[in-house]
C-alpha cells in the first residue's frame, strides 16, 4: 500500500514538473516572438538620425534621434498612433489606441495573442493629446522589455541620464519632459483623465511633483498637456509604477517621413 501511494505521489509530482516546465518554455517562446516582432518593426519602420543638437544653454536634444515611417505602419494597422523612444533604454516601440483597454493588453500590434501585449494609450483619451493628461500603458516584462524599465527612474542618477522620453506621431514629434516617478495603487486617482484645465488637475500635478522619487531638473512650463506612463510594480498587491511628464512639441516637428 505504501509503495502504491509513493508511486501515485511521484507520478503527480512528475506531472506537475512537466507542466511547470511546459509553462516556462511557452513563456520564453512568447518573449522571444515578441522581441523579434518589435525588433523587426523598429528595423523596418524607423531610421536613426544624427539631428540631435542641443538647445542653447539646456543641453537637451532639439530633435528626436529616430524617424518613423507612419504611412507604412498605419497601412499595417490603423490603430497605430505613435512611437515612443528613450535612448539608452529598451523603450523603442510603436503605440496603439484600441477600442478599449483590454484589446491590446494581450495582443501584439498584428492582432496575435501575446503575453507582452502592445504599448497602448487609454481608450478614453481623446486623439492628439487633446486632454490635459494622456495615459500610456505597458507591461512590466521579466525580460526587461516593454515598460519594465520604468521603475529604474526611482534612482536620481538614472533620471538625470534619461530626463526625457520621445513620443513621435504622424503629425509631429514631442518630448516628454519627465517631472515625477512614483509607485501608486492601480486604483489611484492618477488614472483620472482630465479633459479640461481645472484646480483638480493642478493639484494632480503638484501631488505628483511632491511625491516623486527623483528631483526633476525642470519645472512645468505654464499650462500644458501631460503624459502618464504606467506599468505593473510588485511592491504590493496591485501596485503600479508611473512616470509623469509634460508634453513639449519638438523643434523637429512637422510630419517627418522616411524617404526612400
Q: What is the pLDDT of residues 118-163, one digit of tens each?
A: 999 999 999 999 999 999 999 999 899 999 999 999 999 999 999 9
In a domain, 28, yes or no: no
Q: Show the cell assigned to 71.
A: 504611412
Domain that holds residue 106: 36-51+60-249
In a domain, 90, yes or no: yes
Residue 55 — very low, low, confident or very high, per pLDDT cuts 50/70/90? Answer: very low
In a domain, 22, yes or no: no
Q: Which of 169, 175, 128, 174 minimizes the C-alpha distance to 257?
A: 169
- Whether residue 81 contacts residue 121, with contact meaning beta carbons closer than 8 Å, is answered with yes
Residue 215: the pLDDT is 96
Residue 24: the pLDDT is 44
Q: Rounded to whole angstroms, what are the CA distances from 100 to 96, 111, 121, 125?
A: 11, 14, 10, 11
In a domain, 81, yes or no: yes
In a domain, 2, yes or no: no
Number of domains in the chain: 1
Residue 12 — very low, low, confident or very high, per pLDDT cuts 50/70/90? Answer: low
In a domain, 7, yes or no: no
Residue 144 sits in a domain whose CATH number is 2.40.260.10
In a domain, 12, yes or no: no
Distance CA(234)–CA(167), nearest Å, equals: 27
In a domain, 260, yes or no: no
What's the pLDDT tens digit per position in 58-108?
Answer: 556 678 899 999 999 999 999 999 999 999 999 999 999 999 999 999 999
| Number of C-beta neighbours around residue 182 at 10 A | 22
For the chain, first and last CA: distance in Å?
76
Q: Which residues pair with 82 in a beta bridge?
A: 95
Amino acid at each position: 500500500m505504501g509503495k502504491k501511494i509513493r508511486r501515485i505521489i511521484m507520478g503527480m509530482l512528475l506531472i506537475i514538473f512537466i507542466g511547470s516546465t511546459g509553462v516556462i518554455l511557452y513563456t520564453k517562446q512568447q518573449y522571444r516572438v515578441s522581441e523579434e516582432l518589435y525588433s523587426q518593426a523598429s528595423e523596418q519602420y524607423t531610421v536613426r538620425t544624427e539631428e540631435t543638437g542641443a538647445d542653447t544653454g539646456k543641453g537637451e536634444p532639439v530633435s528626436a534621434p529616430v524617424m518613423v515611417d507612419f504611412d507604412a505602419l498605419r497601412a499595417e494597422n490603423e490603430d497605430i498612433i505613435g512611437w515612443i523612444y528613450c535612448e539608452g533604454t529598451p523603450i523603442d516601440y510603436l503605440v496603439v489606441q484600441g477600442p478599449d483597454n483590454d484589446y491590446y493588453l494581450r495582443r501584439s500590434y498584428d492582432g496575435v495573442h501575446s503575453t507582452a501585449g502592445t504599448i497602448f494609450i487609454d481608450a478614453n483619451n481623446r486623439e492628439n493629446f487633446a486632454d490635459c493628461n494622456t495615459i500610456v500603458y505597458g507591461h512590466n516584462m521579466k525580460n526587461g522589455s516593454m515598460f519594465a524599465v520604468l521603475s529604474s527612474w526611482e534612482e536620481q542618477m538614472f533620471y538625470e541620464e534619461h530626463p526625457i522620453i520621445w513620443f513621435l506621431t504622424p503629425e509631429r514629434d514631442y518630448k516628454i519632459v519627465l517631472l515625477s516617478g512614483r509607485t501608486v495603487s492601480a486604483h489611484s486617482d492618477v488614472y483620472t483623465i482630465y479633459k479640461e484645465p481645472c484646480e483638480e488637475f493642478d493639484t494632480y500635478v503638484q501631488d505628483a511633483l511632491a511625491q516623486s522619487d527623483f528631483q526633476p531638473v525642470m519645472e512645468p512650463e505654464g499650462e500644458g498637456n501631460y503624459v502618464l506612463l504606467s506599468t505593473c510594480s510588485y511592491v504590493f498587491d496591485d501596485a503600479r509604477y508611473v512616470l509623469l511628464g509634460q508634453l513639449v512639441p519638438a523643434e523637429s516637428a512637422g510630419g517627418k517621413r522616411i524617404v526612400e
